[in-house]
Amino acid sequence: MSLGFTDEEFQGAWKELDEPQLDGGWELFTETMGVKIYRLYDKETKLYEYKVFGVLAICSPELCADVYMDLAYRKHWDGYVKELCEKNFEGQTAIYWEVKYPFPLSNRDYVYIRERRDLDVDGRKIWVILARSSAETACAEKSGVLRVKDYKQSVALESDGAGGTKLFMNYFDNPGGMIPTWLVNWAAKNGVPGFLKDMQNACSNYSCYCQKK
């Protein structure tokens, strides 16, 4: 059963590994840990969409994909997770994710669908994972928690030829509420490299976690 993502969407993600699409206002935001982060200003929301290009040096793309997909494991290594699980909402399976925000900000939660495909592209093995918010999913909002209704993420992973992973990520969410712009920018500048570092550590520890299950 298709989860609502098209072949073209998967193709669009992995093609950015070869030819980054940065026309139309994308600007280099920061470069760190061998990763370049670009951003694009959205006039309607006054927020930025992000694209990330780089290499995760110490983990294979298949391992990265497995770790990224494992919701139970993420609760062990991602300190921002308050709740994260698959749920069935009136016949549709989606993911419920509540994220801890620092006081005095309210926590945010997401209801989203995602799909992973392990592709063979002319002999190249590429892993692509797509996710986006699912507004039509029936999930009651919690008191004191703001629902993020505009969220999307795409990830494409391929071997860098040296035991690591060549990475592309496209990310946007509108956290809602009155969050100062400087805080949103700070979170993007620090949050993405921080997430990638945590992800690499999670990959290193994954086999040990799996043995203990």
In this prediction, residues 175-180 reach a mean pLDDT of 82
Angle at 12 between CA 26 and CA 16, to 5 degrees: 55
pTM value > 0.85: yes
Model confidence at 171: pLDDT above 50: yes
Residue recorded with tokens 């990475």: 167
What is the reported pLDDT for 3? 53
What is the Cα–Cα distance from 141 to 109, expressed in whole angstroms?
A: 8
What is the reported pLDDT for 182? 77
Answer whether 173's CB lies under 8 Å from 151's CB: yes
> Nearest Cα to 35, choosing from 199, 153, 212, 203?
199
Angle at 75 between CA 13 and CA 115, to 5 degrees: 25
Percent of the chain at pLDDT exceeding 70: 99
What is the Cα–Cα distance from 78 to 146, expressed in whole angstroms?
A: 20
pLDDT digits (tens, 9 = 90+) for 101-116: 888 889 999 999 999 9
Contacts 24+ apart (CB under 8 A), 91-97: 92/134, 92/137, 94/134, 94/137, 94/139, 95/71, 95/131, 96/139
What is the Cα–Cα distance from 87 to 83, expressed in whole angstroms?
A: 12
> Rounded mean pLDDT of the chain?
91
What is the reported pLDDT for 14? 98
Percent of the chain at pLDDT exceeding 90: 69
pLDDT digits (tens, 9 = 90+) for 30-75: 898 789 999 999 888 888 999 999 998 889 999 999 999 999 999 9
Answer whether 84's CB lies under 8 Å from 67's CB: no
User: What does DSSP assign to residue 105?
Assistant: S
Model confidence at 123: pLDDT above 50: yes
Find the range with the poorest average confidence among 137-151, 158-172, 187-201: 187-201
**Cis amide prior to 175 (ω within 30 degrees):** no
**Ordered domains of the chain (ranges, CATH):** 7-212 (3.30.530.20)
Answer whether 164's CB lies under 8 Å from 58's CB: yes
Q: How confident is the model at residue 1 (pLDDT cuts 50, 70, 90)?
A: very low
